[in-house]
Chain A
Amino acid sequence: MQFYQVSGLSVASEIVLPGLIAATADVAPEVTIRRGSVPDALSGATASGPTWQIAGKQFLMRIPDIARFLLKNGNEIVFAAESDAKAADIPIFLLGTVFGILLHQREQIVLHASTVRVNGRAVLFCGSSGAGKSTIAAALAQRGYPLVTDDVCTLTIDGRGAPLVHPDGRQLKLWAQAIERLDLAQQRGERVRASLEKFYVEPSEAFTAPLPLGAVYALREARPPHKPGIERPNVVDAALLLRRNAYRPLLVRRMDQKANYFHAATAIANVAGIFHLTRALDFTKMPEVIAWLEAHWLELRLVEQAA
């Protein structure tokens, strides 16, 4: 067994999961991952989609020709490979989609976001695939704001109602084009999958302590009618924005989590803020975007004015 810390949870896994924070074996794992037999379908399914089914506390997820995953009660993942040739591809899907579903089973707030640390607080960049989450996090990491999470970000609300972000040491995953344009070739690691030109990129620093939330930005491309800049949507839109930036928003609906996300949006609005960050999808504009962000963090008092 391998032991890890993922999104604030202790995990015991039969297979090696690259890029995670290793944990000691002395804690009883909250989640176990093992090989086993996984059915093609669940009986008594109450919700389903092109690749998945829900039946009570069980969730069946299929990545065609790669593996099937059965998630039970939010604490157990059983998987069966569908192809020996693609067995090496299992961890990337396990840590993305599958663990994301598990977090939904545990009724946690899980956002499609990459996160950096700004003066001890977590700053999130949300968006769908291709929105530029990892790219902006990588560019900020180069400016000295270390990576906290990539792609998936788990939030919990503590006893006093304050949202906390749980780092999980996931490496950045970047496309070859972004690595080249951000000059990150030195930190380029293995391919995410043998068949893709997307690579792991080593973070400069990894840490485990949960961070209080600083701000949430939903990324948006600057195309008419949206003008470049940072703006704060109204409260209702902010709540909807948070839910639509859930990691797999369909599950918020299908797993009856809407109220949870509404409460989280309120908690976030109380201590931080939810903003639109609208900019051109253009690497040459990155310094300008970082300058807007740094000015915004001063305005939000996330950072102090330099003496």
Chain B
Amino acid sequence: MIRTVWLASYPKSGNTWFRMLLANLSATDKPVDINDLPERGGIASAREPFDYLTLIDSGLLTHDEIDVLRPRVYEDLASGAQDDEYDKPEKLPPARLVKVHDAYTHTSKGEPLLAGRGGADAAIVIVRDPRDVAPSLANHNRVDIDLAIKQMNSHELAYCAKPGRLDLQLRQKLPSWSGHVASWLDQTDIPVHLVRYEDLAADTAKIFRAALAFAGRPATDEEIHRAVRYADFGELQRQERDKGFSETPRRAGGAFFRRGEVGAWRDELSPEQVAAIEAAHGTMMRRLGYELASEAPRTGTLGEWRMASGE
């Protein structure tokens, strides 16, 4: 059976970049089209597979009723229920990596929403310094940075949860940035491999290779180095600029692939904004090795800070 591995992250933490790396493993002569990824999984919260497999119009169920059924859907997907959907059987990779933004939560019946071991064999959890997530999230959602920080600090935030309309994705609970990361790191149902965005940026090939080995999706050095080159941030930006990206938010304005830089928060956030993030998430930031501005020596340039933090 094909292994299923969650590619779990808070939004704007490098999940799509990782998927682009993955997609480019099978590219040979040129980078894959960002709007035509050879992947099957989509995102775990997509509405269509739910309706497809349960035969129920999820638009007629409440968010909580949907959640009760979601573990059954993930079990079904993990066992390959959708693999014969297309007429031409493609060569399936030994592991399917499926993007997920949901926190690792439990349904009203006490079951893991993502079905624990029944839904996936393991999870690659991608994290990013929340001070870099905030400006990126603000750009993505077309809100100001203060509101983005407020959302990241909220324990009640959920995507696609509005009443009165139907979103194309199912509700995703995002119980604060640190709550989200903790939900994945602290669950004991499935093994986790942690990837820091900053490490992936610093030595993409090495970090990517280790994650692939964990996922059970081996690749040659040649494939990995080519994928790193083809999924270079500049290439992704170029493609988005030239022909648009299907996952860019509908509200016009922001690009999906914005800056992608490590530590850009130093020129994007005010001291008050940095303080608000660190006050809410300091514990998790320390756990992940993100040095707090409030605890760092006040002197020194950005370059020295980067050296000091090992980047």
A interface residue numbers (CB < 8 A to B) = 49-52, 61, 63-65, 92-93, 96-97, 100-101, 128-130, 151, 175-178, 192-193, 195-198, 223-225, 240, 248-251, 253, 280-282
Contacts and interface: CB of A to CB of B under 8 A. Distances in A.
Contact of A97 (B48, B56, B76, B245): B56
A168 to B, nearest CB: 17
Given A50-B76, A52-B55, A196-B60, A225 B35 contact: yes
Interface in B148-168: 163-168
Nearest to A96: B57
Interface residues of B, number: 39
Contacts of B243: 224-225
Interface string B35-78: 11000000000011001111111111010010011001101100
Interface of B: 33, 35-36, 47-48, 51-60, 62, 65, 68-69, 72-73, 75-76, 81, 84-85, 87, 163-168, 243-246, 248, 250
A129 B168 CA distance: 8
Nearest to B36: A225
A197 B52 contact: no
Most buried by A among B36, B47, B84, B164: B164
A250 B52 contact: yes
A51 B55 contact: yes
18 contacts: A49-B76, A49-B81, A50-B54, A50-B76, A65-B65, A96-B57, A97-B56, A97-B57, A101-B55, A175-B164, A175-B166, A195-B62, A198-B59, A223-B244, A224-B244, A240-B87, A280-B250, A281-B250
Contacts of A223: 244, 246, 248
B165 A129 contact: no
A251 B53 CA distance: 9
Given A50-B75, A224-B243, A176 B55 contact: no
B142 to A, nearest CB: 15
A82 B51 CA distance: 21
Contact of B60 (A96, A100, A176, A178): A96
A300 B85 CA distance: 33
